[in-house]
Amino acid sequence: MKKILFSVFAFLVILLLSSCSNGSSGTAMLDLDIRIMPDKEDTRMNDPDHRQEVETLCNLFTVLPGPYEFTWDELKNVDGTTGREQCSTKLKIKLRLNKTLKSMSWGNKPLTEEKMLETVGKSYDFEAFNAEGKTSNEADIEFYTLFLQPELERVWGADGKISYKENIDGIRDFYQFLTSKPGTEYTLILDCGIHLCKDIEDAMAYTKGIFITPRTHGNMIITE
C-alpha cells in the first residue's frame, strides 16, 4: 500500500513540476486585420519618385488571411516577484510575393547584398492598432502596455533575459523571400516585445490589427 501511495505521490510531483516548467508560456491563434499602407502623414507623396518607391514597397507582397499564430514564453532567467513575470512574444504572419525585388540603388550605383540586407530590414515599420484604429502613439498612455510591439529588426528576450539582439537571420530570410519568384509564400516572424505575462490575455484582446508601413531611404531606386 505504501508503495502505491508513494508512486501516486511521485506521479503528482512530476505532473506538478511539468506544469510549472511551462510557466506562463503559450500559443494562440489571432484573427488580426493586417494592412499594408503608406504613412498617412508622409508629406513627400507629391514627389513622383518618392511615391513610386512607396507604391513599389506596398505592392511587393500580399498578406494572406489569418488567423495568425501568436506565442509567448516566460523569461526564466529574470528575477521578479510573483505576478510580475515577464514574457517574450512573437507573431507569425503569412505572406505571398507579388513581384521579385531585383535590386536597390542610389542613382546608378547598385547596393551590395550587405547593404541590400540592411536596407530591407529597415524598409517596413509594423504597428499594432486597437478597435478604434489607434496605434500606441495615438491612444491614451494608460493603454500603452496593451499594444503588441511588432518589429523585424530586433529579437527581444535573448537568452531568456530582458535584452535584445539584432535579428540577422530573420532579416536575411525576409530578404531571400523578397528576391524569390512571384507566388512564393513565406511565414514572417515578428518579435512583439516583452510584456508582463499576466497582461498577455488582455493584450491579445486589445490588439485588433497591424499596419505594415513602408519606410523609404532618400532617392532610392527599386527594381522589381
Which tens digit of pLDDT belongs to each residue from 18-73? Answer: 333 344 789 999 999 999 988 877 777 777 877 888 888 899 999 999 999 999 99
Give the range of the structural domain holding residue 195, as residue numbers without chain letter. Answer: 24-223
Could you tell me if residue 2 is inside a domain?
no
- Residue percentage of the chain with pLDDT more than 90: 48
Q: Spell out the long-range contacts of 115-122 with Cβ–Cβ below 8 A and sequence spacing 24 or more.
A: 116/175, 117/171, 117/172, 117/175, 119/217, 119/220, 120/171, 120/174, 120/175, 120/178, 121/152, 121/153, 121/167, 121/171, 121/174, 121/175, 122/153, 122/215, 122/217
Could you tell me if residue 82 is inside a domain?
yes
* Rounded Cα gap, residues 50 and 221, in angstroms: 9
Place of cell 513627400: 44
The most distant pair of C-alpha atoms in the chain lies apart, rounded to whole Å, by 85
Tens digit of each residue's pLDDT (9 = 90 or more) over 51-60: 888 888 899 9
Which DSSP letter does residue 98 get? Answer: S
Q: Which three cell numbers stand for residue 135?
A: 496605434
Phi-psi region of 131 (alpha: psi -120 to 50; beta: other; left: phi over 0): alpha
Could you tell me if residue 155 is inside a domain?
yes
* Domain tally, the chain: 1
Could you tell me if residue 148 is inside a domain?
yes
Q: Which three cell numbers stand for residue 23?
A: 510557466
Could you tell me if residue 1 is inside a domain?
no
Could you tell me if residue 168 is inside a domain?
yes
- Residue percentage of the chain with pLDDT more than 70: 79
Could you tell me if residue 10 is inside a domain?
no
Tens digit of each residue's pLDDT (9 = 90 or more) over 136-193: 888 776 678 888 999 999 998 877 777 789 999 999 999 999 999 999 999 999 999 9
Helix axes 168-178, 113-121, angle to 10 degrees: 100
Could you tell me if residue 35 is inside a domain?
yes
Q: C-alpha distances in angstroms, 189 versus 40, 180, 204? A: 25, 18, 17
89 contacts 193 by C-beta, under 8 angstroms: yes
